[in-house]
Amino acid sequence: MPLWKKLLILPPLALGVALLVVYDKGRKEPERRDRDELARPVRVLELAPREVIPLAIAYGTVRPSKTWVATAEISGRVLSISPLLKEGEVVPRDHELIKIDDTDQRLEVARLTAEADGLTAQIAKLDQTAKNTAELLEVEKRSLTLTETELERLESLSKEGGPVSIAEADTQRRMVLAQRGLVLKHENTLRLVPSERAQLEAQLAATAARVKLAVRNEKRAVIRTPFPCRIETTNVEVTQAVAPGQALAVAYDVAVAEIEARVGTEQAGHLFRPSDRERVVRNLTKGVDWSQFGISATIRLRLPSRTYTWQGRFARAAPTLDAGTRTAGIVIAVDRPFADADSQSRPPLVKGMFVEVELRGPPVPDRLVVPRAAVRAGRLYTVDKENRLRIKPVEIDFVQGDDAVLASGVQAGERVVVTDLIPAVEGMLLAPATPADPR
């Protein structure tokens, strides 16, 4: 290729270089900017004091407050039984359930009554004999006085040399001695009367006691219900021979039902006011009446279609703590557990039902409550006025369900982060959403 053709490329190259120089001189330097801080969106809850009602949930099985075993106290054959003596029947108080043949008892009452009448007659005879003996004694004493006077007269005549023979004086002496023997005999008879009367009276008292026992046995032939009850089991038929001590039926009280619920010591503690907690928890197994501290109880029977409730009352505390669970037992009583059982309002609260017991303490005002999940290792994430994260240690008074009731660490009006924040760095910028309670 000729040289002049190779040189033709130089003008375009020079023009391009010139254009690049001009463009580079006219371009501005890029503007330098600081990177903006990214704010993390979070949901917050603004703390406000509110009234808290302490609750504790426990469970237990319904049992009767009293159980009665209808036991035969005499031997005999069963004459009749009540038509209500069937398993599951509710029987009113003082209802005749069973009647046992009491012929032997009635005959025994008649025999012992006749024996008592005989002893009474003997005592009356002894009293009359004593009266007669006392009258005879008076006569014999007078006769003794006469014979002694006559003996003195004869002895006086004999000393004076009068016409009195020795035989006549001796005869008079024998008469005096015989008369003295009669007087002594009657006196001895009267001395024996008190002891003989006491013996007869003792026999009469023993017979009267046997009469009373026979009358009681006669009454024991009829077995009546001691209180309103529900028949649980029966073991008796008409014409059946029964013996003393034989169990014929078992029934339980329907006036009051009981539930022994187990509650943890921590749960039990927060039901009470702070000033009462230590004393009550320390005496959980003693006779401390919880109702005096404003503790109420509600019994719930949860069924698939409906929940039924009864109002309970504190009856007593169980004597020991459960060694395995470290829970205390409290006995809750329900009055009239069979009330409205015939209507559609609720079923009867019968033995063996597994129920829920809600214990409710007195309301506590001005408490700060946060969701339980918002407390992380004893700390709360809060948002300050500049929307920056502040991590504060808090003290929890008690936990109730999904809530944690705070004792200290934060104040009313502070905003608490209720969403997970990972990682959580003190002072990081946050974008709090409208305060809301996630519960």
Q: What is the pLDDT of residues 379-430, one digit of tens each?
A: 898 988 888 889 999 998 888 888 888 888 888 888 998 888 888 888 888 8
For residue 115, give both structure tokens.
């024996």
Mean pLDDT of 309-334: 79
Q: Is the pLDDT of residue 81 over 50?
A: yes
CATH (residue range 74-100+225-252): 2.40.50.100
The Cα–Cα gap between 229 and 302 comes to 25
Q: Is the pLDDT of residue 80 over 50?
A: yes
Angle (nearest 5°) at CA 416 between 414 and 418: 160
The Cα–Cα gap between 366 and 129 comes to 95
Q: Is the pLDDT of residue 146 over 50?
A: yes
Residue 372, helix vs strand vs coil: helix
Mean pLDDT of 179-198: 86
The Cα–Cα gap between 421 and 431 comes to 12
Highest mean pLDDT among 1-15, 89-103, 140-154: 89-103
Judge if 55-62+254-364 and 74-100+225-252 fold alike in CATH terms.
Answer: no
What is the reported pLDDT for 25?
Answer: 59
What is the reported pLDDT for 437?
Answer: 45
**97: enclosing H helix or E strand:** strand 96-100
Average pLDDT, the chain: 82
What DSSP letter does each residue of 156-193 carry, written as one string? HHHHTT-S--HHHHHHHHHHHHHHHHHHHHHHHHHHHH
Q: pLDDT grade, residue 110 (50/70/90)? A: very high
Question: 317 or 352: whose pLDDT is higher?
Answer: 352
| Predicted TM-score of the model (pTM) | 0.64
How do beta strands 67-71 and 90-91 pair?
Answer: unpaired
Q: Is the pLDDT of residue 12 over 70?
A: no
- Of 2.40.420.20, 3.30.70.1060, 1.25.10.10, 3.40.50.1260, which CATH number belongs to 44-51+366-432? 2.40.420.20
Give the tens place of pLDDT for each residue, 235-282: 999 999 999 999 999 999 999 999 988 877 667 777 777 666 666 666
Using CA atoms, how far residue 430 sits from 71, 373, 391, in Å, is 78, 19, 13
What is the reported pLDDT for 424?
Answer: 82
For residue 282, give both structure tokens.
């320390």
Per-domain boundaries in the chain: 44-51+366-432, 55-62+254-364, 74-100+225-252, 104-219
For residue 396, give both structure tokens.
């929890």
What is the reported pLDDT for 206?
Answer: 92
Percent residues over pLDDT 90 in the chain: 26
Question: 345 or 389: whose pLDDT is higher?
Answer: 389
Say whether domain 55-62+254-364 belongs to CATH 2.40.30.170. Answer: yes
What is the reported pLDDT for 439?
Answer: 42
Q: Is the pLDDT of residue 349 over 60?
A: yes
